[in-house]
Structure 1
Amino acid sequence: MAKTPAQRIKKHGAKAAVPQHHLPPVINPGTDRSPAKAQNNASLIVIAGVVASLFLFWYVHLLTLNQLTQLSGGLAMPDSLVGGFGTGYAAQLRRALDADARGQLNYVHKTAGTLFPLIFAFTWLLLIGTNVAKKALRWALWALPLLFVVVRLWGNVTIDSMIAAVNLDAGQVALASGLTVAGWVLFVASLIAGGAAVFLGRRASKEAAGPPVV
């Protein structure tokens, strides 16, 4: 029968050979993340966000808002008017849209019309953040999608209020028109900022890799 460590020490004293027991090291593979792996994860999220943004843009502007023109006598929805609109158009649209059509436009604004700017802005913030190293430039580019989501959501609410108001207000029409134009301008500017961020990120990667070995 094998002796216990205490019995060995009692018999042999300090010279007793006591086996050492070592606990296995705790390994957490989740903490072993290289910068390349983190960059790859961010790229996958950006790709998913771009796909979702493209789908929502198609769904809102090319499908749903276009279908609503069938309920407005062929008049385009305010969101689609890149150049804005005036009081005459707003009055004509209010007469053309019945309660059901107004409810459908409001529903679009509250669902896909809200998701699109939010997902687009989040995707572009991540895209810019992972490609632009300079803090000042990164914040300058971030301002565009952030302003876009604020202006776009504000525009949705203003358009719904303009259509649902008992009396048409020229100031409200001007605000809705201005927000619509600003939303489109910021959307295009955000696209350009995203393209610039990708270009800067690729150039930085090439510079970090160094000149090709001949």
Structure 2
Amino acid sequence: MAKTPAQRAAKHGESATPPQTPVVNTSTQRSPQKAQGNANLILIAGSAASLLLFWYFHMLTLQQLTDLSDGLAMPQSMVFGFDMAHVEALRSAMDADALGQLNYVQKTAGTLFALVFAFSAMTMIAMNVAKKAVRWVLWAFPILFAGISLWGNASIDAMLGAETLSAGAVTLPSTLVSLSWLLLALTLLSIAVALFLSRRKKPAPTQS
């Protein structure tokens, strides 16, 4: 009958049972350089996608939809908001198919742009700002931008599809659109601040 490790140790000494060392899987360990490289790849992909979606949504599709609205601008493109007269003219000029195209575009490209841009901005801020309190302050702008943009798109859809138009139904989406453009600018500013803080914390090169 085979002896237990304790019995072998009692007979032959501790050398009979060599200590067992834990097996370390080095393939799962990542160096800081590799982690930084992965974050850079995510950031590059997110930035490229944000630029593409902004161009597709604001510069291409919304501009093309003016062909279906007698040249009237889409609400999402109006940085300083819009009034009831503009919305009434827009509702009269656009038929059900045109309104359906606008609704589809803002639910797809509009939603993707808001989410991808906010995520990319938060990633860039996280990579360049070490202090948690400062990071959360700068993160507030892209988070608010995404939320306000999605809310604004939904309110525009409800406004254009309403049976009767009221002043309140126009004021809310108009305010949300203006806020979304302001938050877009503040998000870009927060990215610039994050990059500035990152450059400040880097030690200056020593001169020989």
Q: TM-score w.r.t. structure 2 length?
A: 0.88
Q: Decide whether aligned partners of structure 1 residues 18 and 44 sit closer, same or farther in structure 2, where only a CA change above 3 A counts.
A: same
| Displacement of 1:211 | 3.9
Aligned to 1:124: 121
Please, which of 13, 25, 28 is the counterpart of residue 27 of structure 1?
25
Matches within 5 A, 1:48-127: 48-127=45-124
* Inter-partner Cα distance in structure 1 for 2:184 and 2:100: 26
| Displacement of 1:74 | 0.2
Q: Decide whether aligned partners of structure 1 residues 36 and 14 sit closer, same or farther in structure 2, where only a CA change above 3 A counts.
A: closer
Which residue identity lines up with residue 46 of structure 1 in the other structure?
L
SS in 2 for 1:84: coil
For the aligned residue pairs, the C-alpha RMSD in angstroms reads: 2.4
Work out which of the two has the higher radius of gyration on C-alpha atoms and give 1 or 2.
1
Aligned to 1:171: 168
SS in 2 for 1:111: helix
* Inter-partner Cα distance in structure 2 for 1:14 and 1:179: 82
| Displacement of 1:98 | 0.3
Q: TM-score w.r.t. structure 1 length?
A: 0.86
CA shift digits 1:105-139 (9 cap, x unpaired): 00011111100000011111111111111111111
Q: Decide whether aligned partners of structure 1 residues 61 and 24 sit closer, same or farther in structure 2, where only a CA change above 3 A counts.
A: same
Is structure 2 residue 174 aligned with structure 1 residue 180?
no
Which residue identity lines up with residue 157 of structure 2 in the other structure?
D
Superposition misfits of 4+ residues, deviation over 6 angstroms: 17-20
* Inter-partner Cα distance in structure 1 for 2:197 and 2:90: 45
Q: Decide whether aligned partners of structure 1 residues 141 and 23 sit closer, same or farther in structure 2, where only a CA change above 3 A counts.
A: closer
Q: Decide whether aligned partners of structure 1 residues 174 and 25 sit closer, same or farther in structure 2, where only a CA change above 3 A counts.
A: same
Q: Percent identity?
A: 53
Give the count of matched residue pairs.
202
